[in-house]
Amino acid sequence: MKALLLTNEFPPNIYGGAGVHVEYLSRELARLIDVDVRCFGDQDVHDSNPVVKGVTTDKANWTAPAPLQSVFAALQNCLNFNTRNIDADVVHLHTWYSHFGGLLAKMNYGIPMVLTVHSLEPLRPWKREQLGGGYDFTCWLEKTAIEMADAVVAVSKETKEDILRLFDVDPDKVHIIYNGIDPDEYARVDRPEVLEKHGVDPNKPFVLFVGRITRQKGIIHLVNAIKSMDEGFQVVLLAGAPDTPEISKEMEDAVAEIQKTRDGVIWIPEMLPNDEKIAMYSHAQVFCCPSIYEPFGIINLEAMACETAVVASAVGGIKEVVVPEETGLLVSVEQQTESPFEPTNPGQFATDLADGVNRLMADPELCRRMGSAGRQRAIDVFSWKAIAEKTVELYRSLQ
């Protein structure tokens, strides 16, 4: 069997959880079957399994509005995916950026189409800030692809419920296969020099955030929570890849304001290499994930594998990853039922995040126990080997 994986992100161009997913899934699938990865970029690996080929689009002479150019470039890249011959037995799509390519492959090459839902566009209305009218198009494209797919993979139980609520899909076509972790790579390390390199004091405890600067990740709520956090520990924000210039400016202003009144707030505005990110997870006493929408939340799993206690919002798939009072704490967030799904009381949400962080930062022994339990859960439930085996089983069921 041979699988074709279509994706925007693939190493070295990784900026989110979906890219991490495809990187590790393709590696484990390649131990079982032949894998062809087509992605956005200049990657060109043709003498190994998986084979990886990146595609790009020249936008130099485009005059369309800037927010629409990323949408049109994605469509052009998807067309380029298909102009190279496809000899796979199944095509597997990751994020809306690849959906048009999958539809072309399914209809033109006559192969079954699998689609993994990493997030759902109707539940991310703030993407209109980034894409303008292109957001309406991506919603239509996602709906079309999900409803035409031969199989849909949901990364959590709650994601499956969202799919069935929002789209006309046969429930038997929707399969729950979790995201995963490589516990050999994501494991506690002792590398204080990485902290020092980025301005973090390795001799002083800290709470850590890792993620993109986007409404979905709730980073602004966490920054607002800092004013309610106890003194005596650092707050490290490993946050980059802003969705828009507007949210980037909002982040800059919020961090600058809090830094006026509290020492030890360190913002690292870049996506660090994996080994440095793992060092940050390992040395943190607490990891905080303030997402307002999260189908799975792989960052929590990464922190758990590095033996770090977690404080996270009780939304989406996070509730299936973090076990409250065992591997961390879950913070309730009452959200608006209509777009844009922000917390109904942002101030209370920020206070509750701070309360959770304060509780754990004041109890290092509890953090140690939660960290140990979190790593064991990551090993027992979320191995990529088991996830790849389930994925190949799904592929074979479509033949």
The DSSP element (H or E) to which 300 belongs, if any, is: helix 298-305
Q: Taking residues 210-235, what's their average pLDDT? A: 94
The neighbour count for residue 106, using CB atoms within 10 Å, is 20
Q: Taking residues 119-127, what's their average pLDDT? A: 89
Q: What is the pLDDT of residue 308?
A: 98
Half-sphere exposure of 183 (CA within 13 A, CB side): 16
Distances 253 to 239, 286, 295 between C-alpha atoms, Å = 14, 25, 29
Q: What gap in Å lies between CA 293 and CA 212, rounded to an integer?
A: 13
Q: Which residues are CB-neighbours of 367 under 8 A, at least 6 positions away?
A: 285, 286, 308, 309, 360, 361
Kindly state the tokens that stand for 300: 């929590």
Q: Which residues pair with 94 in a beta bridge?
A: 7, 116
Decide if pLDDT at 336 tops 80: no
For residue 15, name the pLDDT band (cuts at 50, 70, 90): confident
Q: Which residues are CB-neighbours of 303 under 8 A, at least 6 positions away?
A: 208, 210, 281, 284, 287, 289, 310, 374
Q: Taking residues 332-348, what's their average pLDDT? A: 79
Q: What is the pLDDT of residue 16?
A: 81
Decide if pLDDT at 241 tops 90: no
- Max CA separation in the chain (angstroms): 62
Q: Taking residues 192-198, what's their average pLDDT? A: 98
Amino acid sitting at position 328: G
Decide if pLDDT at 338 tops 70: no
- Which of 46-60, 327-341, 357-371 bottoms out in mean pLDDT, i.e. has the lowest? 327-341
Q: Taking residues 203-228, what's their average pLDDT? A: 94
Decide if pLDDT at 176 tops 90: yes
Q: Taking residues 56-63, what's their average pLDDT? A: 96
Q: Taking residues 46-73, what's their average pLDDT? A: 96
Q: What is the pLDDT of residue 289?
A: 97
Predicted TM-score of the model (pTM): 0.82
3-state secondary structure of 202: coil
Q: Taking residues 161-179, what's their average pLDDT? A: 96
- Which of 18-22, 189-193, 277-281, 283-287 bottoms out in mean pLDDT, i.e. has the lowest? 18-22
**% of the chain exceeding 90 in pLDDT:** 88
Q: What is the pLDDT of residue 374?
A: 98
Q: What gap in Å lies between CA 119 and CA 185, rounded to an integer?
A: 25
Domains of the chain: 2-180+383-397 (3.40.50.2000), 192-381 (3.40.50.2000)
